[in-house]
Amino acid sequence: MQPKTPILLCILAAILLLNPTQGAILRVSDTGDGSDGLSWQTAFRKPSDAMASASNGDEIWIKEGTYNDRGAVTSSISLYGGFEGVENETDFGSRDPGSRPTIIDGSGLGDSVMVFTDISEATVDGLTITGGEALFGGGIRMSGTHLVVYDCVFEKNKAQTLGGALYVSSNSFLDISGTVIKDNSATSDANNCGGGGIAIGSNSHAAIANLRFRGNYALCRGGALYVASFVNSSAEVSDCLFAYNWSDGPGHAIHGEVIVYSSLFHENGNPTDPKTETLSGAGESLISDSTIRYSYGGGIKNFKGGIERCHIIENRGIGISSAFTLIAHSEIIGNHIGVQMATSVLTDSMIANNDGEGISGGGEISRCTISGNGNGGIVVNEPSIIETCLVSGNSAFNGGGVSLDPDGTLLKYCTIADNTAEESGGGLFVRPHSTGVEEIPPVVNSCVIASNRGNPSNSANI
């Protein structure tokens, strides 16, 4: 008979692989005796005591309440809030951070509330982190760490330089979701500053999903989020709300290299100083399926990766300002100026009811509706192609519909109708070049130019 021991050992090894050994559960309660944290009766009195005692794989369960504390995490552990303080090992699912808030308050302690250094993976779940104040990362400062943050609140934390709520640096990865980032700030006026909510530093990356950024401020670079893309960092943002954030610039909500999906940007900026844009990109920044509205300043600037299926509505600055960009299937409506573009492609979009120019600059413009703009529908100052567009109901001093330099711009298959100029060119106006510059007349092919109005005493009306 063959011995069965090797078979049993193989089965046991397989079971262990499928069900790895769990770490210890350490508890924190303001009513514990502080001895070892292994039960609620012997719970540590402060989260920092549990952090100092924890080993890789341990969980820290924190009873509801407010703890004036800060601490360093040096092991791969998980911290959870929302406990009543009576749960046993099988009751994890009964915790409720919403109705049992667990607050770690760093007020008066003079540093980040939590510091994570060189940790392969850690989790923070169901905690409110507040009152931190540090040079970097008032709420959380992390380096060389993979951190998962879920269902948390970061409120009223401050950084002197980068990351009022969180600072991510030195080959770190932040995976954060279902969290509120509100009323945090980064206040230094030094060159190395930004990210009133979150700052992503050197060689670090973040996945940011379903967050609410509200009321964060940075003296420079990204009131809510700053990504230092010049040092190989990036962030992906999806399904987020950015509201009432502001910065002295650039980027009331975001500055840096980002990819943004399905997010809402509402009323960002400073009403008394509307001088910067809501989103200021870098590198190959891209945004899609998002709305930017009612900002005290511009909408989107320098998103070279593309702007698609976006609604840029009633912002007090330029709706879109970008070069070498594809802008597609978007609405740019009711802004101070619609689109300022250079060598860009604008297609299948509506540019309407902007106070100033609908479109200025140049590039390729196709299958667009440009209507109701107050300082000209299209004002081109570089050789461009304008194709299959409807340009109607716009007004300007000269060139209510389309105003061109004599640089060989091509218009084809367009309808230019019902536009108005106070002086010349209700529909189409070709500006004179400076003396000594060669003029190349525009090419107009298969266009309808009709029912436009200018000064009747001026013969230069089309």
What are the pLDDT digits (tens) for 345-391?
999 999 999 999 999 999 999 999 999 999 999 999 999 999 999 99
pLDDT single digits (tens) 77-91: 999 999 999 999 999
Q: Cα dist. 195→44, 90, 180, 354, 388 in Å?
A: 34, 40, 15, 31, 42
Return the pLDDT at 455: 86
Domain stops at, among 69, 98, 127:
98
Return the pLDDT at 261: 99
- Same domain flag for 27 and 166: no
In the chain, % of residues over pLDDT 90: 86
Return the pLDDT at 121: 97
Return the pLDDT at 420: 97
Place of tokens 């050789």: 383
Both tokens of 386, joined, read 């304008």
In the chain, % of residues over pLDDT 70: 94
Q: What is the DSSP letter of 94?
A: G
- Same domain flag for 319 and 394: no
- Same domain flag for 164 and 227: yes
- Same domain flag for 459 and 369: yes
Residue 19 has pLDDT above 80, yes or no: no
How much is the average pLDDT of 96-121? 98
Return the pLDDT at 457: 72
- Same domain flag for 280 and 412: no
Return the pLDDT at 133: 98
Domain stops at, among 286, 303, 335:
335
The model's pTM is: 0.92
- Same domain flag for 227 and 317: yes
- Same domain flag for 306 and 380: no
Beta-bridged to residue 260, according to DSSP, are: 237, 287
- Same domain flag for 224 and 156: yes
- Same domain flag for 399 and 261: no
3-class secondary-structure state, position 342: strand
- Same domain flag for 229 and 123: yes
* 108-122, 179-193, 394-408, range with the lowest pLDDT: 179-193
Return the pLDDT at 369: 99
Dihedral sign, CA of 423, 425, 429, 433? negative
Q: Cα dist. 175→121, 137, 286 in Å?
A: 11, 16, 20
Number of domains in the chain: 3
Residues 6+ apart with CB under 8 A from 288: 260, 261, 262, 306, 307, 308, 309, 310
Residue 349 located in a structural domain = no
Residue 9 located in a structural domain = no
**How far is the C-alpha of 74 from the C-alpha of 229, rounded, in Å?**
28
Return the pLDDT at 273: 77
Domain that holds residue 168: 106-335
